[in-house]
């Protein structure tokens, strides 16, 4: 099935003939314009001449008062010497009729008298020229008026009401469900819609109806638009794609016109799929805060009416995507409009592994590549992040002059996404390097000695472009979906371990711990206000999270007294963890010094080298998973 992109059918429904009313309207408008322009031209032309009599012309000729003369078959234009003496802007010629038969005789007399004769026209071509000028002018204006009236009658004001939807077919999208990984639940829900479009009878036999719409909800980069394109590739039906912002214009009514045009196009080629990306741009909840009858409200009302109006048995499915479902109008989300809400969540470990396999399908990989380790290290990453990681690794392999991507390329690309590239020109003083080394070892040593800590994979004191003078990377051994209070406390102690090492060894406080303190404060506040892990507040949760799919922060919704109590509890929690971190490092001061000196010598050490020091000193270590504690230094 072939469909033209942006195809519009201009043929009317009355047997393929255009309405006569449109042609007559065009003719009337064109005649009116030509007559008005002719009148204006005549008025302007007559204002440049003074009508006189032929005797006045002869009198001026006999008295020698003529400066210039022009003969035009049946009339003569002349300029007297008084008028010629005036400035050019003030000169005004005279015009009078000319008797037939004496044109050449008068021209000869004037020439003998020394009067300038500009032009002598003895044949009357003025009528032919006038007819030609009128015909050409009429034709030009007829075409212009016809074009304008077609746009007004068909697409709204100069085409602004026309839909900007594109028709995507399978050959044009080039995406199928094989290109989408890590979203098995979403693919299953969409697969049922595709099967309904292909085999409607097995559903209608039991009385089932095709869902009118499905709303794809998820964080940016999780693959909502990619899933919609995959639906187009799998369904092999016309696929209309438009962004919600394309409906919104400055002029009231344009958005509603585009909605009507979009669904009119869809009805002509049903069965088909209509996809509206970022629907929150047009589907925002209505209120009377700024009055009513706005462009956005009219567009939303028209969209609601169109979704209600089409018959799902014809095979029109409306898909939409958003990362802000909480601001959508309730009337848009009710059953009968968008019957399904499909969550496109961040992929789990297996999903990330499958996504990496998809993105490395066309990448030449070396034998040492272990995608499972990369998937473990990228907890919380979305599909777009993984695609970027693989591409950066391929670019690094090309820069290094290799023909294939190895494991080191993937790991370095992952670190580059986290901390940026290495700053080779940044030179730290010896004191600064020692401060950074002890700071990073403070993080790593607490993670190595504490229960429920993630294993340390790398420690470096090489500055990076993100502003980090060094960082400690921890890699989880397994994926976890829940965290206990003990695990969160361990993460807090690890975060403040860098500042604790600075205080113990140097007795100073530096700006390098700013990012650690920010992250520790945010975690402690969540423990108090969201997770119910405070003795003073108990199970009370005075905060709520807005825009959860946009990395939304928690906002306190409580009295001032409760807010002050939350601040006090957060401060107590951080102080307790800070004292615990100082106690751990003080009791292992010798080990702290040894590892810091080793790090100063090598600048970058692995987690295995760290644990070799810990085991060599017979320090007790207890395994157990915990949260990610990558360190970013300002």
Catalytic residues: 440
Q: Residues 451, 624: contact at Cβ < 8 Å?
A: yes
Which residues fall within 8 angstroms of residue 224, CB to CB, at 6 or more apart? Answer: 216, 217, 218, 277, 321, 323, 344
Q: Residues 308, 274: contact at Cβ < 8 Å?
A: no
Task: Kindly provide the b/e burial profile for residues 544-579, where b requires at least 16 CB atoms within 10 angstroms of the residue's own CB.
Answer: eeeeebeeeebeeebeeebeebbeebbeebbeebbe
Which residues fall within 8 angstroms of residue 248, CB to CB, at 6 or more apart? Answer: 255, 281, 282, 295, 296, 299
Residues in the chain, overall count: 634
Burial class (CB in 10 A: 0-12, 13-18, 19+), 528: buried
- DSSP, collapsed to helix, strand or coil, labels residue 316 as strand
Q: What are φ and ψ of residue 296, in 5° steps?
A: -65, -40
Distance CA 222, CA 129 (A): 70
Chain centroid, CA 178 distance in Å: 25
Q: Which residues pair with 456 in a beta bridge?
A: 474
Q: Residues 321, 225: contact at Cβ < 8 Å?
A: yes
Task: Quickly count helices (H) and strands (E) in the chain.
Answer: 23, 16
Q: Residues 44, 36: contact at Cβ < 8 Å?
A: no
Distance CA 322, CA 61 (A): 88
Q: Residues 312, 212: contact at Cβ < 8 Å?
A: yes
Question: Helices (DSSP H) in 47-78: which residue ranges?
Answer: 54-62
Q: How many CA atoms lie within 13 A of 408 on its CB side?
A: 5
Q: Cα torsion at 264, 267, 268, 272 (round to 10°)?
A: 120
Going by their DSSP bridges, the two strands 272-277 and 239-243 should be labelled as parallel
Distance CA 146, CA 25 (A): 9
Which of 68, 71, 70, 72 has the alpha carbon at shortest distance from 129? 72
Angle between helices 514-529 and 560-587 (to 10 degrees): 130
Which of 560, 568, 521 has the alpha carbon at shortest distance from 542? 560
Q: Residues 376, 394: contact at Cβ < 8 Å?
A: no
Burial class (CB in 10 A: 0-12, 13-18, 19+), 24: exposed
Which helix (H) or strand (E) segment is 40 a member of? helix 20-46
Task: Kindly provide the b/e burial profile for residues 146-182, where b requires at least 16 CB atoms within 10 angstroms of the residue's own CB.
Answer: beeeebeeebbeeebbbbebebbbbeebebebebbbb
């Amino acid at each position: 099935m072939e469909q033209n992109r942006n195809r519009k059918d201009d043929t009317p429904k009355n047997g393929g003939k255009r309405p006569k009313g449109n042609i007559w309207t065009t003719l009337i408008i064109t005649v009116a314009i030509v007559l008005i322009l002719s009148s204006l031209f005549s008025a302007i032309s007559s204002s440049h001449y003074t009508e006189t009599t032929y005797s006045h012309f002869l009198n001026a000729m006999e008295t020698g008062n003529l400066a210039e003369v022009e003969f035009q078959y049946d009339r003569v234009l002349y300029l007297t010497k008084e008028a010629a003496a005036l400035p050019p802007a003030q000169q005004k010629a005279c015009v009078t009729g000319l008797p037939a038969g004496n044109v050449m005789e008068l021209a000869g007399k004037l020439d003998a008298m020394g009067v300038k004769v500009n032009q002598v026209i003895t044949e009357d071509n003025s009528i032919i020229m006038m007819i030609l000028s009128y015909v050409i002018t009429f034709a030009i204006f007829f075409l212009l008026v016809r074009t304008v009236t077609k746009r007004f009658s068909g697409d709204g004001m100069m085409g602004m009401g026309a839909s900007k939807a594109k028709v995507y077919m399978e050959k044009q999208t080039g995406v199928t469900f094989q290109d989408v990984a890590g979203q098995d639940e979403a693919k299953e829900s969409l697969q049922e819609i595709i099967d309904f479009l292909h085999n409607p009878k097995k559903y209608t036999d039991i009385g089932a109806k095709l869902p009118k719409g499905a709303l794809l909800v998820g964080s940016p980069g999780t693959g909502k638009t990619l899933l919609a394109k995959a639906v187009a590739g799998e369904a092999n039906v016309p696929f209309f794609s438009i962004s919600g912002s394309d409906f919104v214009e400055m002029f009231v009514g344009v958005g509603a016109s585009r909605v009507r045009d979009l669904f009119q196009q869809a009805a002509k080629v049903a069965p088909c799929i209509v996809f509206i990306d970022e629907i929150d741009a047009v589907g925002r909840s209505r209120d009377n805060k700024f009055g009513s009858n706005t462009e956005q409200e009219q567009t939303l009302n028209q969209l609601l009416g169109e979704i209600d109006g089409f018959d799902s048995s014809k095979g029109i499915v409306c898909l939409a995507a958003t990362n802000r479902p909480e601001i959508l109008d309730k009337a848009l989300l009710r059953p009968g409009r968008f019957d399904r809400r499909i969550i496109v969540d961040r992929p789990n470990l297996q999903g990330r592994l499958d996504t990496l396999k998809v993105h490395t399908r066309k990448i030449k990989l070396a034998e040492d590549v272990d995608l499972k380790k990369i998937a473990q290290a990228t907890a919380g990453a979305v599909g777009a992040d993984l695609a970027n990681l693989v591409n950066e690794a391929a670019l690094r392999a090309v820069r290094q002059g290799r023909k294939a991507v190895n494991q080191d390329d993937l790991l370095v690309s992952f670190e580059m996404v986290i901390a940026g590239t290495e700053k080779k020109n940044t030179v730290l003083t010896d004191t600064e390097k020692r401060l950074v080394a002890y700071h990073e070892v403070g993080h790593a040593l607490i993670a190595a000695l504490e229960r429920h800590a993630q294993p340390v994979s790398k420690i470096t004191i090489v500055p990076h472009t993100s502003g980090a003078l060094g960082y400690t990377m921890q890699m989880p051994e397994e994926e976890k979906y829940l965290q206990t209070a003990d695990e969160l406390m361990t993460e807090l102690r690890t975060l403040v371990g860098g500042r604790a090492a600075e205080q113990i060894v140097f007795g100073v406080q530096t700006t390098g711990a700013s990012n650690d303190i920010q992250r520790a404060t945010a975690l402690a506040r969540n423990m108090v206000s969201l997770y119910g892990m405070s003795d003073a507040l108990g199970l009370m949760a005075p905060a709520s999270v807005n825009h959860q799919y946009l990395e939304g922060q928690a906002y306190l919704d409580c009295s001032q007294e409760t807010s002050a109590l939350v601040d006090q509890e957060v401060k107590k929690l951080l102080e307790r963890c800070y004292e615990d971190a100082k106690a751990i490092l003080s009791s292992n001061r010798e080990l702290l010094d040894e590892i810091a000196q080793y790090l100063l010598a090598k600048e970058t050490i692995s987690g295995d080298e760290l644990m070799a020091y810990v085991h060599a000193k017979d320090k007790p270590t207890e395994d157990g998973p915990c949260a990610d504690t990558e360190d970013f230094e300002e």
